[in-house]
Amino acid sequence: MVESLTIGRHSVPFPIIQGGMGVRVSGSRLAGNVAKCGGIGLVACAGLALNSEHYNGKNFFAADRQALIDELHKAYEIAPEGVIGVNAMVAVSNYDECVVAACEGGAKLIVSGAGLPMNLPALTADYPEVALVPIVSSVKAAELICRKWHKSYQCLPDAIVVEDPDTAGGHLGEKPELIGTGQYDQYATVRGVKNYLKEKWNLEVPVIAAGGVWDRADLQHALAQGADGVQMGTRFVVTEECDADESFKQAYIDCCKEDIGLIMSPAGLPGRALIANIEQVRQRDVDLDIRCPSGCLKKCAYKTGQERFCIVHALDRAQQGDMRTGLIFCGSNAWKAERISTVKEVFEELFPVAERNAS
């Protein structure tokens, strides 16, 4: 039987959140179609300025803000009654502005990671209908957020996403040396967060498992292990509705396990990506002597010392189809991609018709 998912004031028929994937990999088309099919769709706010009609090469932050509002409006054109939110990275320089713009644009929830979103309730105080969902990888991180939110804002999260650093794609909330050691137990963390919320705060809100969920078996395992739903990003990349270039999607289809690995982002966080072209990503910026073009991150090794590469533009190049010098983030299961499907087909595989009818 299918369990619905309720986060704050918003409910969807299926316990699926589509993961936020910047830069413009999860834009309006993907988020809107996931919401249309009965899940929660997320627009990733990172780097939306690039390739928007508002960007003139010098006004990154103003363009980023307006592009996010535009993207939310486009997503709601696809799913007027859907639940659509925003994934906001704490690490970006304009985090506060992005959160406020998301609320102004009609986001029904803010999912926030790449750092601890300690001031998120203050930013959304004028929008009580917006659900607040931090991303953590440990019970300790959940405790820190809850204590701060309760003490300073008299509120607690509407849900918590527990991200598995051993399997999730993109930026990861763990030290590189601790990733892939076999020590991390995602579902023990899920249950630990649920127990903490119940015992400390008498709070029962959804705890969502993120990372490594590809098919129906993975979904059923997550739910059986105590998760109230799952967040899926990589699986939705290989759909017709994903906002990335077809070459980006084909890179997933063509890759094997050995092509997926960890990089060190200039943001100071490890990230999971296709690693074969990382030297070319770096060399492009060296050859062109690229300086920080936008200041998109609060802390950035490239901005301060030209270490590594400019990540927002590397991600943007990949999204547009540059597979040679573009950075292609992915989860550990990207190698399982065999074809381009549709969002609807993904939902039909995860939730067969017989099960839907029974619910």
Whether residue 46 contacts residue 60, with contact meaning beta carbons closer than 8 Å, is answered with no
Residue 354 has pLDDT above 60, yes or no: no
Q: What average pLDDT score do residues 4-19 get?
A: 97
pLDDT digits (tens, 9 = 90+) for 185-199: 999 999 999 999 999
DSSP codes of every residue in 159-219: -EEEE-TTT--EE-SS-GGGTTSS---HHHHHHHHHHHHHHHH-----EEEESS--SHHHH
Residue 40 has pLDDT above 80, yes or no: yes
The whole-number pLDDT of residue 254 equals 98
pLDDT digits (tens, 9 = 90+) for 333-342: 999 999 999 9
Q: E strand or H helix at 16, and its extent?
A: strand 16-18
The whole-number pLDDT of residue 131 equals 98
Q: Three-state SS string across 255-281, please?
A: CCHHHEEEEECCCCCEEEEECCCHHHH
DSSP codes of every residue in 39-68: SEEEEE-TTTTTTSTT--SS-HHHHHHHHH
The whole-number pLDDT of residue 3 equals 82
Confidence of residue 304 (pLDDT cuts 50, 70, 90): confident
The whole-number pLDDT of residue 176 equals 87
Comparing 150-159, 170-179, 290-299, the range with the smallest average pLDDT is 290-299
Residue 359 has pLDDT above 80, yes or no: no
Residue 130 has pLDDT above 70, yes or no: yes
What domains, with CATH codes, occur in the chain? 5-243+337-358 (3.20.20.70), 249-319 (no CATH)
At a CB cut-off of 8 Å and minimum separation 6, what does 9 contact? 108, 129, 131
The whole-number pLDDT of residue 355 equals 59
Note the pTM of the prediction, 2 decimals.
0.95
- The terminus-to-terminus CA distance of the chain in angstroms comes to 5
At a CB cut-off of 8 Å and minimum separation 6, what does 217 contact? none
Cis omega (within 30 of 0) for bond into 23? yes
Residue with tokens 């991600």: 315
Residue 326 has pLDDT above 90, yes or no: yes
Whether residue 221 contacts residue 297, with contact meaning beta carbons closer than 8 Å, is answered with no
Sign of torsion over alpha carbons 233, 238, 240, 246: positive
pLDDT digits (tens, 9 = 90+) for 207-243: 999 999 999 999 999 999 999 999 999 999 999 999 9
Residue 303 has pLDDT above 90, yes or no: no
Q: E strand or H helix at 157, and its extent?
A: none
| Mean pLDDT across the chain | 94
The whole-number pLDDT of residue 310 equals 86
Confidence of residue 356 (pLDDT cuts 50, 70, 90): low
Interatomic CA distance for residues 205 and 333, integer angstroms: 28
Interatomic CA distance for residues 183 and 217, integer angstroms: 23
Q: What average pLDDT score do residues 61-83 get?
A: 97
